[in-house]
Structure 1
Amino acid sequence: MRFVLALMCLAGPICADPVADVAAAARVAFDGMPRVARVDAIEGQCGADAHVNNQVAYCATRNVIFVTDAAAALPEAGYLVAHAYGHAVQVKHGVADLALAQIRSRAGEEQMLRGLVARQVDCIAGFLLARAGLPDARLTDWMTEEPFAGTHWGRDPLRIGPEVSIGLAARDEWFQLGQGGDLAACAPGEFSADLLLAALKP
């Protein structure tokens, strides 16, 4: 039976693993990328409680992306992990620090600024999906409600991580921009793509 499965894997996409493909693409494209840890549940990982996203979460303190086995089996698994890698790219290459400095100095505009950060994250996610060779998709192919509006990334404890909502349509727009394969397009508003392009490995 194992021999038959091996032949089937050689023959086509039956053994495709979009989580692994996105992780590999992220590591090829950028230094310092987190490892992926498959877990039964997000709650209890890196200070996560029941309010943290129950599919995928990025722990910046440990530089780990936690993915539940259930999430890894979903059709949108590649996107879910690519979104987490989008945050990791920002954290590891200066965008998160720049954004935090702006948020602290302009507290009244926090939601707008976090919205720009979220748009860039989903653009990076699309870029990584393209780099992984996964087919173009729309978020609306997989979901009817906005993903990742709740806490799903940050330092330990994850339960105090940021929350931001920009709507499914905005996320999908920037996700599709990224799938075009041009990282320079991932420049929403005040946050340019300069730091991303400087970090992108040749």
Structure 2
Amino acid sequence: MGTEKTKGFCQLVVSSSLRDGVSHLIQSAGLGGMKHNTVLMAWPEAWKRGDNPFSWRNFVDTVRDTTAAQQALLVAKNVDLFPQNQERFSDGHIDVWWIVHDGGLLMLLPFLPRVRRNQSNVRRMHTAVKLNGVVLSKSQEAQLVLLNMPGPPKNRQGDENYMEFLEVLTEGLNRALLVRGSGREVVTIYS
């Protein structure tokens, strides 16, 4: 944190598995009343490989854990293409694809990186049919594409299909941020 000139609190968790460690961090991180409300993680690029310690099963279980803890989840795909801490996006726009209402976090995020208001394109979609094709055709030049991240299926038998759905949804996008809100409103009439 000193190298990045970031202030905050560190939390150490010792666990017998990555899966349990992530679950413990989601539940216990914070100091007193200062608890996190959002989890940021990278998309597991090699999720189809069986020898990957952060397999698709761990990823889907982490999505479930953040939902159960009523926390928002941000998943960065192609994280290596994102700007470093002190860098900004070059000229361009951020496209937002708001598919479902999950608290409004998706609508708040584009304004955080100090993008001029007219550079943010908000497009609403009410169906996910052929969504990737539409997103690719409309957002190919976007510096960043933000998409709602649907929750995993209640039936765990469909978890691998869920991962495939998310992969297809973001296929071909340079920088994508999947956003799963906690369900609690972050954008209100007082915002």
Q: Same fold (TM over 0.5)?
A: no
* Superposition TM-score, scaled by structure 1 size: 0.29
* Superposition TM-score, scaled by structure 2 size: 0.30
Give the structure with the higher percent strand. Answer: 2
Give the structure with the higher percent helix. Answer: 1
